Amino acid sequence: MGESDALQSIVYHRGSLRLLDQRKLPLEVAYIDVKCSADGWNAIRDMVVRGAPAIAIAAALALAVEVSGLDFTGTPAEAASFVSEKLEYLVSSRPTAVNLSDAATKLQNLVSRAAETEKDAKAIFQVYIDAAETMLVDDVADNKAISSHGAEFLKQKLGNAKHISVLTHCNTGSLATAGYGTALGVIRALHSGGILEKAFCTETRPFNQGSRLTAFELVHDKIPATLIADSAAAALMKNGCVQAVIVGADRIAANGDTANKIGTYNLAISAKHHGVQFYVAAPVTSIDLSLPSGEEIVIEERSPKELLNSEGGLGKQVAASGISVWNPAFDVTPANLITAIITEKGVITKSDADETFNIKDFIQSAK
C-alpha cells in the first residue's frame, strides 16, 4: 500500500495516512497527513479528498490511524462504542455519499460483534484496522471489475462498434477511488481494448473536478480526450460526437434514481433527447435499498463562495456582492433516463416488460 504514482489519492501504511490534496491539482501535487478522525472529517468536508468510494476509504483509514496508536484503558465494549461514535462523526462530513454511511454501518456491526467475544480493547481496534485496510484493497479489484463489465456491455449495446466516443462528468477515476476508477475506469478499459476514439469531459463547475482532475488523469494516461464547457454538452450530442455518457454515483435508490454531481441530470435529459445512451457506473455499496426513490435522497448544499469566487471558492471574487446563491452539490437523475447501471457484480438492466430496474433482485442473485 505505497505511493506508486502521482495519481494515487490515498497513500496508506499502517499507522500513517496521506491524502492527495485534490484542491491543488493539476498545477501542484501535494499530500497532507491525516492523523485522526478529525483530520479525516476536515479533509472530506474541504474537498481534499472526494469521490464516494475514496471518501469512505479515507474516513475508515483516518480512524484506523487514530486507534493504531491510541492509549485506551477501557473495556472491549467501550472500545467498540468509541469506534462507533467516531464513525458517526465521520459520516456527517458528507451525508449524500452512501458509500460512507454503508461502510460505517458495516464497521460498527463488526466491532460490536467482536466486543462480544474479545477480552481486550486493543483487539477491537485491531479488528477494525484489518477491516479498514481490506476496504482499500477490495476497492481497486471492484473498480477493475466495473470497468471490464462496462466496456464489454457498451461494445454489445453499440453493435460492437470499432470506435466509441464517450462523455463523462465530474471525476470518477483513480482520484475518486482507491485506484483505476468507476466511470473513468470504463473509459480506461475501452481505451486499453483499442476501441475508444475519444473521451470528452465536462469542466464540472463550480469546483471544476472535470477540468482539474479528470483531464489530469486522461492526459496522464495518454487517453485521447477533449475538455468541454458544461453548457456545451447538448451541442456535442446534437453534433453526433458521442455515443454514450458514463457517470458515477454518490447514492442510487432502490428504483435506480441516482444522485451524482450537480449537472448530471442535465446530461441525462440531453442524452435522452439526442438518443445517446446514459450509463451509471458504481459499486453496489452506492446502492441504498432503504430508499424507494430519489425523492428521499438528502442533497447537500455547498458554500456560496464556490460560485462567488473563482477556483471553486478559493480564488478572487467574480460575482456581484449581495447576490444570493443556490449551490447544491448533487442532483438526482430519474431511473427512466438511465440506460443501465454498471457494477462490479455485473450490469443492472431494465426489464423488457415495464422498462424499470429490479435492483433488489439483482443484488440478491449476485451474492
Q: Residue 231 forms beta bridges with which residues? A: none
Q: Where are the beta strands (DSSP E) in the chain?
A: 10-13, 16-20, 31-34, 164-168, 196-202, 225-228, 244-247, 251-253, 258-261, 277-281, 287-288, 330-333, 340-343, 346-348
The active-site residue out of 39, 142, 230, 250 is: 250
- Across the strands, what pairs with 280? 247, 341
Could you confirm whether 221 is annotated as catalytic?
A: no
Cell numbers linked to 267? 446530461
252 Cβ contact partners less than 8 Å away, ≥ 6 residues apart? 98, 258, 259, 280, 282, 286, 287, 288, 341, 359
Which residues lie below 8 Å from residue 281, measured CB to CB, with a gap of 6+?
A: 146, 147, 150, 172, 182, 183, 185, 186, 246, 247, 248, 249, 341, 342, 343
In 3D, which of 61, 48, 52, 56 has the Cα closest to residue 11? 61
Catalytic residues: 250
